[in-house]
Amino acid sequence: MADEELLEEEQKSKIVNAAMYIEALKSSGYKSTYNAIAEIVDNSIDAEADDIFIIGEQKVAGNGEKKIVSFGFLDNGHGMDYATLKDCLTIGFTTNQQRKGMGRFGVGLPQASIFVCDRVEVYSWQNGIENCKRVHIDVDEVKENNLNEIADPISCEIPNVYKQFIKWHGEKRDFDFSEHGTLVIWTKCTTVDHKKWNTCVGHMSEDLGRKYRYFLANGSKRIYMIEMVSKKEEEMLPNDPLYLMTPSQECVPADLSVFGENGYDSKRYDENSGYTESLFEPFKPTEDSTGVVELPINYEDGDEIKTGTVTIKYSVVKKKYYSKNDLKTETKPGSLPYGKSPRLNNNIGISIVRNEREIDFGSFGFFNYYNVPDYRWWGIEISFHSDLDSAFGISNNKQYVNLKPMSKQEMADVSSDELKSVWHQLADEILPTIVEMTNRNSAIRSEEMKIDDPTPQESSEIATQVDLETGDEEEELELIPEEQKVEEATEQLIKEGNEEPSESQVKKLIDSGVRVTIVHNKTKMDSFVDYSFAAGTLSIILNANHPFYEKLVRDILEDENSKVPFELFLIAVMKSIKKLNLEYPDAMDKLMYQINNKIFNYIMELNKRNE
C-alpha cells in the first residue's frame, strides 16, 4: 500500500511544466521591447534608485548590419539581500505586498526578461560591490533539462564589460554604483523591436520618457541610455503628452520671432537656443478653474461598492502657438514643422497614469482620433492610485486598463439607480470637456488675421533714400506735429484691421516713411490696391483676398528676387498719383478706380480662358 501511495505521489501533475511555461512567457503579451524594459525600470524605482543606466551592446552581424545583442540595466537602488535575490526570478514573487509602488503581481522581472531574451542574469549587492551575488535563468537550460528550480545565488563579480560603469564619469556628472545596487543583464536576445541602438534610443526615449515623465520631471529619478562600445550617453527627458512640463523632449522658444526664424520647429529642451517653453497650458473653462478635476468614482470590488478618487488633467495649446495672428502666418499649425512632429502625432490620446507611472495610452472610445488633426492640440490625463487597480482592471504586466466604451444609446439606457461603469462615469466628465477644448481652439484659428507690423522693408528704405538724394522729400512731412502723426498712424492701423494698435506698431508706421502693407480682410477693402497718406507716411495697401493677388502677386512677394522690384514699382506709381492728387484730386480718385476695375476685369477674363 505504501508503494502505491508513493507511486501516486510521484505521478501527481505539477501546476506548471517548466519547459512549456518558459516558452509561453516569450509570447506573454508585452506591446513592445520597451514595455518589457519598463518592468526592469519599475523594479529600480521600487528599490529607490536615483540613477538608472540602460546599456545597449550592438555588434556587426553576418550581413554587415549592426544589431543589438544585449541589454544591461544598472541602478543604485538599495540592492537585494540573499533571500530576495534567491526568489526574484520566481514567477509570482513580490516584495510589494501592499501594491504601493510600481509592482503588482510579481511577474515583471522574469516575464519581461524571457519575453526579450533567452538568458537573464541578476547581480545585486549591499554594503559594497565586493559582496555581489548572482542568480540566472537560461531558457535553453530549462528546456533541455525541464528545470523547475532556480539555482541559489552565488558570490561573483559582475562581467568585466560592465565594471566600467560602476564608477562612471558622465558627460555632466560622475556616478558611483559601488555601495549598493543591481545589474540585470539580458543576453541571447530574441525579441528586439529595433536592431540598431540609435533607433532603439529614439523609441525608448519616447516610450519610457512618457511612462516615467513625473519621476524625470521632478528630478527624483534619472535615466541614461548608453551604448557600450561608443560610450555615447543620452539622458532621458520627460515626454509629456500634455506638453506642460519643462525641460522635456518637445519644446518651443518663448520668443515667437525666434520660432518663426527657425522655421516653426520644435526641439528638445535647450537653454542655449532658447527652446525652453512648454507648448500647452492647463485648460481652464472658467476663470476659477485649475485645469484639474478631482472626480469621485464608484466601482464594484467583489461584492462591495467602493468609492475612489480619480484626478483628470486637461491641457490645450497656448494661443500664441496656434493663432495665425501670433504666428504671423496663414499656414495651419498642423502643416508647420512643429505640428508635423512625430512625437506630437504619437501623443494624440489620453494618458492613464497609476502611481505617477503611465500604464496605458489611447483614445479608449472617448474620441476617434483618426484623420482629425485638431485632436493633437489638446491633452487629457487620468491618474489614480493603486487602490483603484480593480476599478480600472489593470493587467498583470501593467500595460492595459479595462475601460469598455459605451454607445450613446447604452449610456441613455442606464437607469438612475444603476451603478454606472467606470468608463461611463469618466465619459460624463470628459466628453463635454473635449467639445469645449476643440471649440476653444477652433475659435482661436477662426480669428481674422491682422496685418503684420509695419516694419520698414528694403523697398521703403530705398524709396526714402532716393527722395533724400533727389530732393523729392515732401515738405509736408516736416509740418505735421508729432501728436498728429501718432493720431493719424493709429487711425490708419485701425483702418487696416488692427483694432488695438500698440505703441511699437504706431512708431514703426511713422518711422517707415513709405511702406507696402497687405491686408487679409475682404470686407475692409474690395479693390486690389489703395493708398493713404497718414502720419507723414505713404501706405500702399494690397488686398490679399483679391483674385489678382491670388493669381500673381502672392508668388511675386514670396520670391525674394521679385519682391523688392515689384514693391518699388508700386511705390513709384502711387507716389506719382499721390503727388498729382494735390492738384487733381477728383481725377486721381477716378484713376485709382479705373486701375482697380481694369485689374479685376482682366483677371475675370483670364479665368474664363483658363476654364
The tens digit of pLDDT for each residue in 226-277 reads 999 999 999 999 999 999 999 999 999 999 988 988 899 999 999 999 999 9
Q: State how beta strands 181-189 and 133-138 pair.
A: unpaired
Q: With contact defined as beta carbons under 8 Å apart, do 216 and 310 qualify?
A: no
- Look at residues 459, 499, 450, 504 and name the one whose alpha carbon lies nearest to residue 329: 450
pLDDT at position 450: 56
Q: Give me the helices (H) in 184-230, please.
A: 197-211, 213-217
* Structure confidence by residue, pLDDT tens digits, 112-148: 999 999 999 999 999 999 999 999 999 998 888 877 7
Mean model confidence pLDDT for the chain: 85
In this prediction, residue 104 has a pLDDT band, given cuts at 50, 70 and 90, of: very low
For residues 569 and 455, give the distance between their C-alpha atoms in angstroms, rounded to a whole number.
19
**Average pLDDT rounded to a whole number, residues 520-548:** 73
Cell of 334: 498642423
Cα–Cα distance for residue pair 190/114, rounded to 1 Å? 9
Window from 417-431, 520-534, 580-594 with minimum mean pLDDT: 520-534
Q: DSSP assignment, residue 451?
A: P
Q: What is the pTM of this model?
A: 0.73
Do 516 and 571 touch, CB atoms closer than 8 A?
yes
Between residues 96 and 528, which one has the greater pLDDT? Answer: 528
Classify residue 444 as left (phi > 0), alpha (psi -120 to 50) or beta: alpha
Average pLDDT over residues 321-332: 87
Instruction: Enumerate the domain spans of the chain.
Output: 15-235, 256-445, 458-610
Homologous superfamily (CATH) of 15-235 is: Histidine kinase-like ATPase, C-terminal domain (3.30.565.10)
Three-state secondary structure call for residue 415:
coil
Contact status, residue 233 vs residue 369, Cβ threshold 8 Å? no
User: What count of other Cβ atoms lies within 10 Å of the Cβ of residue 452?
Assistant: 14
Q: Give the pLDDT confidence score for residue 91 in this predicted structure.
A: 74
**Higher per-residue confidence, 168 vs 396:** 168
Residue 520 clears pLDDT 80, i.e. is over it: no
Distance from chain centroid for Cα 124:
36
pLDDT of residue 600: 85
The DSSP bridge partners found for residue 249 are: none
Cα Rg, the chain, nearest whole Å? 34
Q: Which residues contact 457 (CB under 8 A, 6 or more apart)?
A: 515, 516, 564, 567
The yes-or-no verdict on residue 455 having pLDDT over 60 is no
Judge whether residue 108 has pLDDT over 90: no
Residue 589 has pLDDT above 90, yes or no: no
